[in-house]
Amino acid sequence: MALVLPVAYDEVFLEKIRADYRSEDLGVEVSYRFPDAAPSVIETAADARAAEEGVRRAVLDAVADGADAVLVTCFSDPGVRAAASAVPVPVMGEGRPTIAAVAALFERFSILSSQSSTTDAKANVVAELGVASRLHSVVGMDIPVRELTPARADDVAALIEREARSGADAVILGCTGLEAGFTAAVRERLDERGAGVTVVDPAEVAGRVLLAAALSSGAPR
């Protein structure tokens, strides 16, 4: 399985993704690659569009090198459709698989977006997947991706607790540029508050969904 990181080369992000998608955890060989050209971060629709062509080319290269499943490590799924239509193997981002899985397991879910400007786009994806009846809300954190570190765990936990109190039983962290330790820190704060809500990190879901798709067409490597 190949992972395409749809931003400019970033050693910190690479190490975080390596920790999220370890070969020994997934049971398959995992490779990682960055596009030749990409934005430094994906926070807006314009950033996602800027990443699309680089992602497409990186997916083509990964498949040419032997990958039989490719995951684009971004909740916005930039370039995924174009890439998937150009290769004979499963290609997914982290957004749609996570939303579909959460909608199948929970009655009401919310999505946290790094910026308010992208909430409508995420709600549109939910509707496209046919699970709008399960969506509680999409909430903009208005925190730059690079600031989604354990130091902001209290702020994000407060947003999630508010969603839980208003009816959400699961909340998806709608960004995968999170610093290592962020999700664990948020869950710890919520446990301390007795919030009673499931926090979903797309990195814990998307890779396994992709593997299931790959296994249906042949064992991934």
Query: What's 2-93+205-215's CATH class?
Result: alpha beta
Q: Can you say how many angstroms the Cα of residue 53 is from the centroid of all Cα atoms in its chain?
A: 19
Six-digit token pair at 186? 């948020």
pLDDT > 90: what percent of the chain?
78
DSSP designation for 178: P
What confidence score (pLDDT) does residue 146 get? 87
User: Domain segments of the chain: what residues?
Assistant: 2-93+205-215, 96-202
What confidence score (pLDDT) does residue 83 get? 97
Model pTM greater than 0.85? yes
Task: Give the model confidence (pLDDT) of 114-161 as tens digits.
Answer: 999 999 999 999 999 999 999 999 999 999 998 898 999 999 999 999
Contacts of 7 (CB under 8 A, 6+ apart): 13, 34, 38, 39, 40, 41, 42, 51, 74, 177
What confidence score (pLDDT) does residue 218 get? 64
pLDDT, mean of residues 55-77: 96
Query: Which 3 state secondary structure label does DSSP give 31?
Result: strand
pLDDT surpasses 60 at 219: no
Query: Which 3 state secondary structure label does DSSP give 88?
Result: coil
Would the CA dihedral through 216, 98, 123, 18 be positive or negative? negative
User: For residue 127, what are the CA distances in angstroms to 96, 124, 172?
Assistant: 11, 5, 16
16 band by pLDDT with thresholds 50, 70 and 90:
confident
- Hey, do 2-93+205-215 and 96-202 end up sharing a CATH topology, with the first three levels equal? yes
Task: Give the model confidence (pLDDT) of 17-62 as tens digits.
Answer: 998 898 888 888 999 999 999 999 999 999 999 999 999 999 999 9
* Phi-psi sector, 213: left (phi>0), alpha (psi -120 to 50), beta: alpha
What confidence score (pLDDT) does residue 220 get? 52
Say how many C-beta atoms besides its own lie within 10 A of residue 29's C-beta: 12
What confidence score (pLDDT) does residue 76 get? 95
Q: How far, in Å, CA of 63 to CA of 54, rounded?
A: 14
What confidence score (pLDDT) does residue 217 get? 66
What confidence score (pLDDT) does residue 131 get? 98
For domain 96-202, give the CATH number. 3.40.50.12500
Task: Give the model confidence (pLDDT) of 152-196 as tens digits.
Answer: 999 999 999 999 999 999 999 998 878 778 999 999 999 999 999
